[in-house]
Amino acid sequence: MAYDIRIAGTDLHFACEAGQNVLDAGLKAGIEMPYSCRKGVCGNCAGGVARGEVNSPPSEAKPAGQHLFCQCTPLGDLEIVPEAWHRFDPSARKTFTVKVFRNTLAAEDVSVLQLRLPAGQRAKFKAGQYLQVSLPDGSRRSYSMANPPHESDSLQLHIRHVPGGQFTQLVPQLKAGDTLQVELPFGNFELKEESTGPMLCVVGGTGFAPVKSLLDDLVKKGVKRPVTLIWGGRNSGGLYLLAAVERWKKLLPGFRFLPALEDAADAQAHDGFHGRVDDAVRTHCPQLAGHEVYCCGSPPMVSAVRKACVEERGLDPHHFFSDVFVPGPAAPPG
């Protein structure tokens, strides 16, 4: 049985099967609302229900009076109030068999995987979006593209080796010529192109990947916005592809780089901040009104940075964009 889900204040509506979550039903119908983890962890998909009843599991990420659309299922017809929405073409998402052409151990526990699309084929995506790798057991893993969209005949992934990770422990053994099946694009962590204000990018570990795509895209498009990049990690062994950072220093006017490292000696050696990224924000960003913040990392890290930016530095909460990395199998495509 399908229920009718209407977006409040519009004539836009879509069908949602009993037991299907509202976000997946919207995506299937070509209506995208904000989301990231799709596992009830990040809170990005939170929105209101103006009319109707939902089954809405408890979650720490659920703001009072709202529901997580990636988790809640309708108990009847609904009128919903998402934070934002837009139409997209679900058929634009494509599956490719890609070949590994380079696999580099870029940091102590990070592989940079370069994949090539079949001859003559191109991947269409926006900077900041992600793909899903299909594993032989049918499960999937999500990784952001680290290359900019104009490099559309190849894909660059930054993969952290998660201890015991079903896929990531195999990644160091992947060699040139091996193939993987990937589907893309997913996600709506992307640059707000109409904006001109200063950007603060705050990343932890391989959260660097989608921001690398964003910043390479800015360079390609000749966009001139002041950008600060704060990159957090335990020590300098977690910083990699620093040649990209050097390139942005030359090509992006007003670009500022600040590593935030837990190791005091490494922080000093890299002219960085000793401590967590949210404390680096507090120390180095006295006010963030008029800024946009792009934040990628673990759920606690993103939540701490959001708090520092919005509650303590005056950032408009609608200008905080995040991509939350949750290890393990990805939610199936909507």
Q: What residues make contact with ligand FES under the rule CB under 6 A?
A: 35-38, 40-45, 61, 68, 70
- Dihedral, CA of residue 166, residue 172, residue 177 and residue 181, to nearest 10: 30
* Minimum CB–partner distance for residue 69 and ligand FES (Å): 7
* Minimum CB–partner distance for residue 39 and ligand FES (Å): 6
Report the residue number whose CB is nearest to ligand FES: 70
Q: Which is nearer to ligand FES, 215 or 302 (CB)?
A: 302
Rounded Cα–Cα distance for residues 39 and 331 (Å) = 7
* Minimum CB–partner distance for residue 73 and ligand FES (Å): 13
Tokens encoding 260: 């935030």
* Minimum CB–partner distance for residue 136 and ligand FES (Å): 27
What's the DSSP call for residue 135?
Answer: P
Rounded Cα–Cα distance for residues 200 and 322 (Å) = 12
Q: Which is nearer to ligand FES, 61 or 155 (CB)?
A: 61
Q: Which is nearer to ligand FES, 147 or 303 (CB)?
A: 303
* Minimum CB–partner distance for residue 210 and ligand FES (Å): 15
N-term to C-term CA, the chain: 18
Could you identify the residue written with the tokens 């969209």?
149
* Minimum CB–partner distance for residue 261 and ligand FES (Å): 28
The C-alpha angle with vertex 188 and arms to 240 and 63, in degrees rounded to 5, equals 105
Q: Which is nearer to ligand FES, 206 or 303 (CB)?
A: 303
Residue 149 backbone phi and psi in degrees, to 5:
-60, -30
Taking residue 95's Cβ as centre, other Cβ atoms within 10 Å add up to: 12
3-state secondary structure 262-310: CCHHHHHHCCCEECCHHHHHHHHCCCCCCCEEEEEECHHHHHHHHHHHH
Q: Which is nearer to ligand FES, 38 or 313 (CB)?
A: 38
Which amino acid is present at 23? L
* Minimum CB–partner distance for residue 306 and ligand FES (Å): 13
Q: Which is nearer to ligand FES, 88 or 101 (CB)?
A: 88
> How many helices (H) and strands (E) would you count in the chain?
6, 21
What DSSP assignment string belongs to 174-201? --TT-EEEEEEEE------TT--S-EEE
Q: Which is nearer to ligand FES, 27 or 45 (CB)?
A: 45
* Minimum CB–partner distance for residue 281 and ligand FES (Å): 22
Q: Which is nearer to ligand FES, 45 or 182 (CB)?
A: 45
